[in-house]
Amino acid sequence: MNAQHTNDAHRADLDAKPRLTRLEAAWVIARRDFVAVLFSRAFLFFLIGPLFPVLVGGLAGSIGSQVSKETTVIEVGLAMSAEDNAAMIAARDQLAPKLRGAIPALRAVEEAAGNADFDARAFMEARKGNFAAIVTGTVDKPELIGTEGQVRRWQGPIELIAASTAADAPLVFPQSTRQTVASSAASERKNRIRTAQAAQMVMFLLTMLLAGMVLSNLAEEKGNKIIEILAAAIPMDAVFMGKLFAMLGVSFVGIFVWGMLGWGFWAIAEDAIITVTNTDFRNLPGPAVGWPLFIALGIAYFSMAYLLLGSLFLTIGAMADTVREVQTLSMPVTMLQLMVFFLAAATLTDAGSGLEMVAVIFPLSSPFALLARAALEETLWIHAAALAWQAMWVALLVKGGSMLFRKRVMKSGGAGREKKKRRWGLGSRGGRGGRGPEAREPQLEPAE
Amino acid sequence: MDMASNTRMMSNSSAASEDEGLTLSPPDPRALAIEARGLVKSFDGTRAVDGVDISVPEGAIYGILGPNGAGKTTTLRMLLGIIDPDEGIRRVFGHDRPHDIGRLIGYLPEERGLYPAMKSIEAIAFMGALRGLSLAEGRRRGLELLERHDLAYAADRQIRQLSKGMAQTVQLLGTLVHRPRLVVLDEPFSGLDAINQGKLERMIRSLAEEGVTVIFSTHVIHHAERLCEGVAIIAGGKVPYAGSVEAARDRIPAQVRLETRARDGDWTAALPEDTRREGDFFYFPLPEDGVEPLLRQLIEGEAGILSLSIERAGLHDAFVSIAGEAAARQLEADAAGGQA
């Protein structure tokens, strides 16, 4: 009676839904992976990861700037009479606002003051002071002493300053009026190229930072032998797809967090950021398709770039037997990413050229090339076609990868393990959970 | 049973389901849960499985018996759709693609695997979700199963915090949480102590009582002998025998063991020609006309019968006879290795 009741319950359950669709199966995997990654301690490190290069870059920049300031002060020494020195400095101060960095700072050489025997040439050769060059003689006939390069560089400005000292009255500069145009064809194209370059670079950095994570994504399943349960329950391409979308989701969380932090930082220190970066982000050159569509396309192309590279990396990583192999594969994989980026970046200004078309059509570089096109050209249909093309390649790569995985990896039983143990010199009874190489690092068994 | 009759049987039951939106009819004990014909699989030029034929009726407990490396796991993986055969056909409940009826199947692989950071209850629910259960339903059923196996206290413990035996139980419960109609267990007894082996045997029997088909691989003869109605003996990638355990044992004639008071006499002429003597006992195959005529002659010859027993051949003897001495020795070595 009880058995009959259970049987009836079984039938009711089973008749309801004999299998998951591929999407449902992928969702089960994606949900598990997304939650597992998001609630792991490692995710915190993932989030703060980009801070390290920013921090290191900031520190290096700050130190470099300080060193640069201390070592490359452009100061020309004056070893003339006291009156001439004062006249030269006054003339320089008058010209400086108009010529900005075109004229050097001037400072009287202390050692020369009241010293008729002062030898500027010997002084320079003795590497005393911190002068780019030294001016001797008089304002009517100045003499510049320094290295060939410095003399050539400062000869004109020094002569101009000297000439200015001879004027009877202080120089009066006519006040010019200004008329600016918002843009010209040349400047608009130049600005859009800058936008395209920046967008490509941002997308490249994000994919490089994030897509590599997929490489070791199946390592856990292979190491814990869960892969066989997954492979028995759902199609392997659903496993691949689920893992890809989970990591894409994780990436978006990361990008969202970094974006919010950036936005917060911008809100607090807008002017400082503009000053430090020397870039007015409020007036960035607009892309051809407009900012809202460009951002939407950026998200779509990032997703495609991630899925394309990710599916490739997932397959490569899935083929690896050990974590060490995955690590070894990281370098060629990074090189591949760089090559794809260079292809798209190099052809950015040659829209329609043969090489640019290669970049547009080649699936891995296509998202980068098309994002640049969105910045440079207003045509929209090409983006719809490109996204469909890229999506098709994602599906093909996932299918191919999962087939390869089933064919190459899921093929062994007990005999394979025994062979491997013998090869590792563990005898036939290495046993599960032993301390052999299998225990040290996750790996699958070879074929029977 | 020929192919045509198998196909006819399936057409009465689950094969019809393909045309009816995968609606499954109640189990028919005559129908086949699994049917494999001429399965071949090679890896790197080596034939791991070479023409395997298996038929498993619905509701049966079926064993695949063979030494390590015989092709058991590869056969099961092909039956489950984890890998595809190079040649041959496989049908599970009449379906060529096992994933199409993934909801009906539960699978416990030989290599136990769970996410170490997952809680037991979540691991069971996740395995149920892979087979189509909602997570909430998976958790509810998972808790029920854990309670039934006295493991409710471990529901919120991470897998890494469980003992090996407990983790194995959790995985087995995950295999059953969606109430499959076919349960496939690859070397399920391996690594279990005697108590847990007993528990697992009881669980397999109770599943069969509920109408669930259970197929498991093993290299331990007595598990197959105690549990299975049908068995496939596999060695070197081939299946030299697939059928009922009874029929396998019947391939070897029963042995008669006779103990007499008298050591010699005319009555010995009545014993069959291939009788062998070991100590106080005579051993010979059961005569075709039974033991009654022989008994009469022994009594008349005053042999002084102390005992006479008819011993049926065990599955081990059948295995030796079918697969050969070498395979049997390897099987024994594997079994000894698995228990140590």
What is the secondary structure of A249-293 as a DSSP string? HHHHHHHHHHHHHHHHHHHHSHHHHHHHHT--GGGPPPPTT-HHH
Q: What is the CATH number of domain B253-311?
A: 3.30.70
Query: So where are chain B's domains?
Result: 4-246, 253-311
The alpha carbon of residue B174 is apart from the nearest alpha carbon of chain A, in Å, by 10
Instruction: Of A301, A308, A306, give the one whose Cα is nearest residue A373.
Output: A301
The alpha carbon of residue B106 is apart from the nearest alpha carbon of chain A, in Å, by 8
Contact by Cβ (8 Å): B43, B62:
no
pLDDT classification of A124: cutoffs 50, 70, 90: confident
ipTM at complex level:
0.77
Contact A233/B130, CB-based, under 8 Å? yes
User: Kind of pairing, strands B281-285 and B255-260?
Assistant: antiparallel
- Identity (one letter) of the amino acid at A168? D
The alpha carbon of residue A429 is apart from the nearest alpha carbon of chain B, in Å, by 7
pLDDT classification of B312: cutoffs 50, 70, 90: confident
Q: Which residue has the higher pLDDT, A321 or A198?
A: A198
Q: Report percent pLDDT > 70 for chain A.
A: 79
What's the full length of chain A, in residues? Answer: 448
Provide the β-strand partners of residue A205: none
Q: Poorest-confidence range of A59-63, A435-439, B125-129, B333-337?
A: A435-439
pLDDT average, residue stretch B32-52:
90
User: Kind of pairing, strands B305-311 and B255-260?
Assistant: antiparallel
Q: Which residue of A lies nearest to B212 if distances are taken between CA atoms?
A: A7
pLDDT at A116 over 90: no
Using a CB–CB cutoff of 8 Å, tell me whether B100 touches chain A. yes
pLDDT classification of B280: cutoffs 50, 70, 90: confident
pLDDT reported for residue B3? 35
Residue of A4, A14, A420 to mutate, testing the B interface (most B Cβ within 10 Å of its Cβ): A14
Instruction: Of A9, A19, A236, A238, give the one whose Cα is nearest residue B103.
Output: A19
pLDDT classification of A439: cutoffs 50, 70, 90: very low
pLDDT at B325 over 50: yes
Helix (H/G/I), strand (E/B), else coil: B330: helix
Using a CB–CB cutoff of 8 Å, tell me whether B250 touches chain A. no
pLDDT average, residue stretch B280-287:
89
Of A24, A40, A225, the CB nearest to B113: A225
Question: Which pLDDT tens digit goes with each residue over B4-31?
Answer: 333 333 333 333 333 333 444 555 556 8
pLDDT classification of B339: cutoffs 50, 70, 90: low
Question: Which pLDDT tens digit goes with each residue over B239-259?
Answer: 989 988 888 888 888 889 999
Beta strands in chain B, from DSSP E residues, in sequence order: 32-43, 46-57, 61-65, 87-92, 105-108, 182-186, 213-218, 230-235, 238-244, 255-260, 276-278, 281-285, 305-311
Residues whose CB is less than 8 angstroms from the CB of residue A101 and which lie 6 or more positions away in sequence, other chains included: none
Residue of A5, A19, A237 to mutate, testing the B interface (most B Cβ within 10 Å of its Cβ): A19
Question: Which pLDDT tens digit goes with each residue over A412-433?
Answer: 554 444 444 444 443 333 333 3
Residues 23-82 of A with CB under 8 A from B: 24-25, 28, 32, 36, 40
Is B253-311 in the same CATH topology as B4-246? no
Mean residue pLDDT of chain A comes to: 78
When the candidates are 3.30.499.10, 3.30.470.30, 3.40.50.300, 1.10.600.10, the CATH number that belongs to B4-246 is 3.40.50.300
Using a CB–CB cutoff of 8 Å, tell me whether A448 touches chain B. yes
Of B70, B80, B83, the CB nearest to A411: B83
Residue of A411, A412, A445 to mutate, testing the B interface (most B Cβ within 10 Å of its Cβ): A411
Using a CB–CB cutoff of 8 Å, tell me whether A218 touches chain B. no
Contact by Cβ (8 Å): A191, A183:
yes
Q: What is this structure's pTM? A: 0.71
Contact by Cβ (8 Å): B114, B171:
yes
